[in-house]
């Protein structure tokens, strides 16, 4: 097949997406596909695109790793000179995507993961991997996901949503977890222990967006469960060596120990996997996703969120879960394309 692997973009997870894209493109090339690895925002300067799938275009040649901090998006925006400022899609991106059999969404965060690009592609008749616009939108907004979890009896930490105008002194439970409603990769997430830390954490979170979710802190083990084609993979346990699973711990190799399959009583494993599959249904997800949970010492578990375009980087969780069932990275990427193609039958 001719496949565009779409990466980059303008979210705080831009760098993660580029590393996902690079690795996915390599796997798809190995599997025999013709690939164009394209930055959705920067686009492709040359208008001569007729042979784009035979030249192995790859914009990531000089990019090897993810930094310790999320990138400066204002600086990235200034770098683009070849397209109208208000258009998210870079030069020739729409044309090249129309030429593909399918677009592999190697994007994380914001427009690439929140349903906006999915809806645009639906209208343009461009096929893409992963969830559609409704599932993407519901999963990306942690406030909406929580409402859906509560309505469908999916256990989730108690929480409250604040906008920048709201009185935050009504929140009185510490420690708590502060997170921007539409963020990802723990960018802007903090765990304040008292009111002063809480006020600072809220200021920081509001610098990312106007809607912030505050949750009760659940002390426990951190688990994540991939769901492919509606079926749960083995559970992975994430043990950061220091602190919580923040941006640095997520992407710098060696800072967390991942255990897969997680060592849990059989009945807890079964319940968690069933709940992950239910979340996939509740949020109307397609093809694949990864659902995050916390398990407390009494084996009560709480769903934190669903990731519709989970990372596929060298430290990412979904590939490790697939490997635990004997599915290699290259095979997994192929399965994700095949499952996504089924949406269009």
Ligand X SMILES: Nc1ncnc2c1ncn2[C@@H]1O[C@H](COP(=O)(O)OP(=O)(O)O)[C@@H](O)[C@H]1O
Binding residue for ligand X, selected from 15, 39, 305, 321, defined by CB under 6 A: 305
245 binds ligand X (CB under 6 A): yes
Q: Rounded CA gap, 25 and 33, in Å? A: 9
292 binds ligand X (CB under 6 A): yes
Per-residue contact track with ligand X, 147 to 166, x per CB under 6 A? ----------x---------
Binding residue for Mg ion, selected from 39, 286, 292, 321, defined by CB under 5 A: 292
Print burial letters for 127-153: b (CB count within 10 Å at least 16), e (below 16).
bbbbbbbebbbbbbbbebbbebbeeee
Q: How far is the CB of 269 from Mg ion (least distance, A)?
A: 20
What contacts 303, CB < 8 A, 6 or more positions away?
Answer: 149, 154, 155, 156, 275, 279, 291, 292, 293
211 binds Mg ion (CB under 5 A): no
Only segment of 97-105, 111-119, 175-183, 309-317 that touches ligand X (CB under 6 A): 175-183
Residue 281: CB atoms within 10 A of its CB come to 11
Angle at 163 between CA 160 and CA 165, to 5 degrees: 125
What contacts 278, CB < 8 A, 6 or more positions away?
Answer: 152, 154
CB 19 within 8 Å of CB 313: yes
Only segment of 80-88, 96-104, 202-210, 285-293 that touches Mg ion (CB under 5 A): 285-293
237 binds Mg ion (CB under 5 A): no
Binding residue for ligand X, selected from 130, 184, 310, 311, defined by CB under 6 A: 184
Residues that bind Mg ion (CB under 5 A): 292
Residues that bind ligand X (CB under 6 A): 157, 177, 179, 183-186, 189, 215, 217-218, 222, 244-245, 292, 294, 304-305
């Amino acid at each position: 097949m001719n496949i565009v692997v779409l990466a980059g973009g303008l979210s705080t997870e831009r760098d993660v997406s580029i590393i996902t894209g690079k690795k996915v493109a390599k796997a798809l090339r190995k599997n025999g596909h013709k690939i164009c690895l394209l930055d959705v925002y920067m686009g492709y300067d040359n208008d001569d695109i007729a042979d784009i799938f035979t030249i192995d275009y790859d914009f990531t040649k000089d990019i090897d790793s993810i930094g310790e901090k999320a990138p400066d998006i204002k600086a990235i925006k200034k770098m683009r000179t070849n397209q109208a400022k208000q258009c998210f899609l870079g030069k020739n991106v729409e044309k090249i995507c129309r030429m593909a059999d399918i677009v592999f969404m190697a994007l994380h965060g914001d427009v690439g993961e929140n349903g906006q690009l999915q809806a645009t592609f639906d209208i343009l008749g461009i096929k893409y991997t992963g969830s559609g616009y409704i599932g993407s939108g519901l999963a990306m907004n942690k406030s909406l996901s929580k409402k859906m979890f509560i309505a469908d009896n999916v256990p989730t930490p108690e929480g409250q949503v604040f906008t920048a105008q709201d009185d935050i002194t009504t929140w009185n439970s510490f420690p708590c977890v502060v997170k921007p409603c539409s963020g990802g990769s723990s960018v802007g997430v903090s765990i304040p222990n008292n009111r002063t830390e809480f006020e600072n954490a809220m200021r920081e979170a509001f610098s990312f967006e106007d809607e912030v979710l505050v949750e009760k802190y659940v002390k426990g083990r951190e688990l994540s469960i991939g769901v492919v084609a509606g079926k749960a993979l083995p559970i992975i346990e994430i043990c950061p060596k220091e602190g919580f699973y923040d941006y640095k711990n997520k992407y710098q190799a060696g800072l967390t120990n991942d255990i897969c399959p997680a060592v849990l009583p059989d009945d807890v494993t079964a319940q968690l996997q069933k709940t992950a599959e239910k979340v996939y249904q509740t949020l109307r997800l397609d093809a694949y996703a990864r659902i995050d949970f916390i398990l407390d010492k009494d084996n009560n578990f709480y769903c934190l969120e669903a990731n519709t375009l989970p990372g596929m980087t060298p430290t990412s969780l979904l590939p490790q879960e697939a490997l635990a069932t004997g599915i290699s990275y290259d095979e997994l990427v192929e399965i994700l394309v095949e499952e996504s193609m089924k949406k269009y039958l």
